[in-house]
Structure 1
Amino acid sequence: MEYTIANGYNWLTEMPSIKVQWYKVVWNKYNVPRCEFIIWLIQHKRLLTLDRLKMRGMDAPEVCFLCGSEPESHIHLFQECCFMKRCMQLLVDWVHIPITKLQNVTSLLKLRGISALSRKIIIAHVVGIHYWVWRCRNLCRMEHFVMQHVQVFQLIKQECYRRFQVSFAGSMSIQDRNWCQMLSIC
């Protein structure tokens, strides 16, 4: 059988696809694109954290640059690090949702009692937090510059606000409008 591009596409579409739950978190229209890329790398555990650098044979310190208390890994940096937890706590205090519901990325899709728009806005902020934790870690490592979590959260809110203003096209329910006005999003 002769190969054609059409045959190649047919072969690709016949391949069984693997469904992952987090794709709706990563590819959310309210996410800032650079944040989407970092969260995608996090989901694939591809960021070069210190534990991964050590596995590659590089001479790197072991301790997390943000908290200085635990060895740096994906799990530590994006779940256990006190810097990450403080940023998430600021989000929880701002949107009034218990932190247990924001523990991991896929649990965001299961938030109940809020509208789809509110869920997407919260997801954009969580994705932004992940991006900024990675960026702050790199600032600490490369430039010895430490940002405060409150300052970081303000930057995330500003980015998400601008993205929402650009991306939102449509009408809003009264509940969504009230929620957005309470948070000063619209």
Structure 2
Amino acid sequence: MVRNAMQVKSKLFQLGISPDYLCLLCGVATETHVHLFEQCVYSRSVLQEMATLCQITIPSMNILQWVWNQKWAKARKGIVLCAFTACYYHIWMMRNTARVELHLPRPAIALHQARCSAKMRINVLSSQLDLCTRSWLESIDLCK
């Protein structure tokens, strides 16, 4: 995703593989990497809900770069990156579900699955966190 190497519909349409170039999640814009992971209404709702859970306000573009540049503790930055990476993964999975199964699960389903994925990864590392970070993590319900 970071290298824009995923086979989005705009690429597939140019290769003659896809009959159209419209986003499988919203159906109104060209499915490019930027649209799919930053601009799509479906994706933005998932990302915005995760931001609300993490108690942060995200920018409209390049969320991972924005998180990386924050002056947060290393553990907090890693947790937020993990949460948004899980969102991106499940957005892609929902997009593939829409492509293969011809139905699109609600954004709440993608958010729930992203939270579960992030929780599993974070719980592996949670015993190594300081008390302040652990308290914040418990307040946003991304551990145990």
* TM-score normalised by the chain length of structure 2: 0.89
Task: Extract structure 1 runs of 4+ deviating beyond 6 A.
Answer: none
Structure 2: which 5+ residue stretches go unaligned?
none
Contact 2:126 2:134 in 1 (8 A): no
TM-superposed CA distance for 1:145, in Å, is 2.4
Contact 2:55 2:140 in 1 (8 A): no
Q: Distance in 2 between matches of 1:101 and 1:120?
A: 20
Map 1:67-106 onto structure 2 (within 5 A): 67-100=26-59, 103-106=62-65
1:95 is aligned with what amino acid?
C
Q: Pick which of 132-141 and 103-112 moved more.
A: 103-112
* TM-score normalised by the chain length of structure 1: 0.71
Higher RCO (CA < 8 A, seq sep 6+): 1
Structure 1: which 5+ residue stretches go unaligned?
1-41
TM-superposed CA distance for 1:59, in Å, is 3.9
Match of 2:80 in 1: 122
Match of 1:159 in 2: 117
- Deviation digits for residues 20-77 of structure 1 (CA, Å, limit 9, x no counterpart): xxxxxxxxxxxxxxxxxxxxxx122111111111222224222111001101111111
Other structure's SS at 1:43 match: coil
Contact 2:97 2:103 in 1 (8 A): yes
Is the radius of gyration larger for structure 1 or structure 2? Answer: 1
Aligned length: 143
Q: Percent identity?
A: 18
Contact 2:38 2:61 in 1 (8 A): no
TM-superposed CA distance for 1:101, in Å, is 8.1
Contact 1:67 1:81 in 2 (8 A): yes
Contact 1:102 1:108 in 2 (8 A): no
TM-superposed CA distance for 1:167, in Å, is 3.8
Match of 1:138 in 2: 96
Other structure's SS at 2:92 match: helix
Q: Pick which of 157-166 and 78-87 moved more.
A: 157-166
Other structure's SS at 1:99 match: coil
Alpha carbons of structure 1 residues 101 and 181: separation in structure 2 relative to 1, 3 Å? farther
1:183 aligns with 2:140: yes
